[in-house]
Structure 1
Amino acid sequence: MSVFTPLDIAAIGMVTPVGLTAPASAAAIRAGIARLGESQMYGKKGEPLVMGLVRDDYLPPLTGSIRNQVGFLSRQGRLLRLAAPALLEVCRGLELRQIPPLLLALPESWPAGAQSVGPALLGQLAAQSGLQLDLRRSRTVQQGRAGGLVALRRALDLLTIQREPYVLVGGVDTYMDRSLLKALDKEERLAERGVSDGFIPGEAAAFLLLRLASQGRVSPIAPIARISSLGLGVEPGHLYSEQPYLGDGLADAFREVFNSLPPDAPRVRSVYAGLNGERFWAKEWGVAYLRNRARFEEQLDLEHPVDCIGDAGAAQGPLMLGLAAIGVQRGYRSSPCLVWCSSDKEERAAALVQQAPERGSSTASAGLRRNA
């Protein structure tokens, strides 16, 4: 049986098309409020593409130095404007001697012509946010939707081996890139009127402040929720592979999640699913669920935030972990809750979120709970 050291979620920050903070985003998505509409981007048929976007005037402008580096209308500039306020939210009010290392999920590599992003974004994010990030130990995880969950394993190394008291795990993505949208449209992956197989491009940023659950006894900050298990998988027959698709990657990720639990552990009652409207992912979920069916309750709540905000790409993992954490803390999502994400390429990942044990309150924890 594999072993996972539980992690506590101590704080959350988000920017989404339906909310500029974690509480606002969670409340809007819970209520089913959607912000999807025609954009200024056009598809190959000459019609405006439907997208889930944050209103431009809701985002902070780029600082002068960063604007000169990346350009205001670039994809990289958009990522920084999304990420900075979410990062500031997760760090707000926390009396940390220094900002912890950041593991940031970014988009996978895309077709030639699409604007690429990489490790340089970390330094630019520090300048845009005004925070003194620990750049020496911070890393990017350029693995798309599953990247934020993949980063949890790296976060464990920082917490257990390097004995960091806290680690930040986040993700940011936007499909606001003409070359990228053109390539996806050519592949007929984008949603169209009257077509049931396609996704609505979106954007978001989400960050989690994590610590070892065992450190909760000595911390003044009460946890929002607990990540109790993690599973990773690799899908050889992924969306851009020539190998046959067998559905092994996500099923293996589920199996690793459940194998780290005792046999009498409660069955999963709610799921935040990495579905986006494309049939490929629905098929993958079906395979993984059936191979692990004994671990799920018959009455299962299946949540897919893309209905409200579109496909959030590399932000999807931290975003859904944060939504699950707020949901189980406030009692409107059943615990334990499974969160899973699949990247366009081979990465697959899943994690289990459950209610954190009750503990005494304090001024710091009360403030954090209001912020959650």
Structure 2
Amino acid sequence: MRGEAIVVTGIGMRTAVGQHAQQSCASVRAGLNRFMIWPHFGVDGGGLTASWTRPDLGERAWSEKLVELLPQPLTEALWSARLFDLPINLPHSRSEARVQMFLGTPPLDRPGPSPEELQEFTETLKEDLFQEGAVRLEFIHMEHASGLVGVARACEVLQQGSADICFVGAADSLLDSVLLQSLLEAGRLKVPGVSSGIIPGEAAAFLVLERESMARRRGVSARLRIDAVGGWRETIPGHHKAP
């Protein structure tokens, strides 16, 4: 990655094992988990083991849950980066920072919410998370790769100079009965007789990225420096070719 160095100045996280980034990371290092029986989905031969952040969210579709899961880690990331208000006035300048968000969400064709619910989800995020026009929002629907792709896109626009600060976030919840049923039928859930299945859960996280010079102008410390971002698309699952 060429050009000016890109740094991370803010981190926020909400997981089943932590109310914030520091607690979540400490719990992971300690080997803690909150695996419990999910009460909203029955499985023949035993209950479904799962891990969740807020039991009151229940079995709603991910598009509804994300509206509830995103604000806390975003606020944490903003405060840790000393971004207390938007729009941001640059120091020693009358201009306002150009801010862009890259948000990773589940793929749109995944079982669950309807197209109408997804449209409502998009409009709600734009209205509730930020004041009108304060942040340009771009969605990335690439499942597990969404966060990495978001970081790569943020580095690109920051180095191009088309944004001054970027928020990169990702959130998901597999605890939706429609989705769980499809995973169960595909043999992908960890249930009695399927030891290799997944344990469903939910979480959300955010990073604040900016150019190193911008961080210095704002008087904030870099938590880490991004030297390069690499990705590779596997065309045939399970079949690896040399790049």
How does the TM-score come out when normalised to structure 2?
A: 0.81
What is the aligned partner in structure 2 of residue 207 from structure 1? 206
What is the aligned partner in structure 1 of residue 75 from structure 2? 88
Query: Structure 1, unaligned stretches of length 5 or more?
Result: 60-71, 239-244, 253-372
Instruction: Specify the SS of the correspondent of 2:175.
Output: coil
CA distance in 2, matches of 1:118, 1:5: 37
CA RMSD of aligned residues (A): 2.7
What is the aligned partner in structure 2 of residue 124 from structure 1? 124
Query: Structure 2, unaligned stretches of length 5 or more?
Result: 89-98
Cα distance, 1:154 vs. partner?
A: 1.6
CA distance in 2, matches of 1:98, 1:128: 15
What is the aligned partner in structure 2 of residue 157 from structure 1? 156
What is the aligned partner in structure 1 of residue 167 from structure 2? 168
Instruction: Specify the SS of the correspondent of 2:239.
Output: coil
Instruction: Specify the SS of the correspondent of 2:229.
Output: strand
CA distance in 1, matches of 2:3, 2:126: 31
The alignment of Structure 1 onto Structure 2 pairs a total of residues equal to 228
Instruction: Specify the SS of the correspondent of 1:168.
Output: strand
**Do 1:101 and 1:134's aligned partners in 2 also have CA atoms closer than 8 Å?**
no
CA distance in 2, matches of 1:46, 1:142: 34
Instruction: Specify the SS of the correspondent of 1:13.
Output: strand
Moved more, 228-237 or 152-161: 152-161
How does the TM-score come out when normalised to structure 1?
A: 0.55
What is the aligned partner in structure 2 of residue 247 from structure 1? 240
What is the aligned partner in structure 2 of residue 286 from structure 1? none
CA distance in 2, matches of 1:156, 1:163: 11
Counterpart mapping for 1:1-372 below 5 A: 3=2, 6-45=5-44, 47-57=46-56, 73-92=60-79, 93-95=82-84, 97-98=86-87, 100-111=99-110, 113-115=111-113, 118=118, 121-129=121-129, 131-132=130-131, 134=133, 137-193=136-192, 195-238=194-237, 245-248=238-241, 252=243
**Do 2:102 and 2:137's aligned partners in 1 also have CA atoms closer than 8 Å?**
yes
Instruction: Specify the SS of the correspondent of 1:101.
Output: strand
Cα distance, 1:246 vs. partner?
A: 1.6
Which has the larger share of helix? 1
CA distance in 2, matches of 1:43, 1:237: 33
CA distance in 2, matches of 1:133, 1:144: 28
Indicate the structure whose relative CO is greater, using CA pairs within 8 Å and at least 6 residues apart. Answer: 2
Cα distance, 1:110 vs. partner?
A: 4.1
- % same residue: 30
User: Could you report, residue by residue, the CA deviation over 1:321-342 in whole angstroms, capped at 9, with x for unpaired residues?
Assistant: xxxxxxxxxxxxxxxxxxxxxx
Amino acid across the alignment from 2:121 = L
Cα distance, 1:90 vs. partner?
A: 1.3
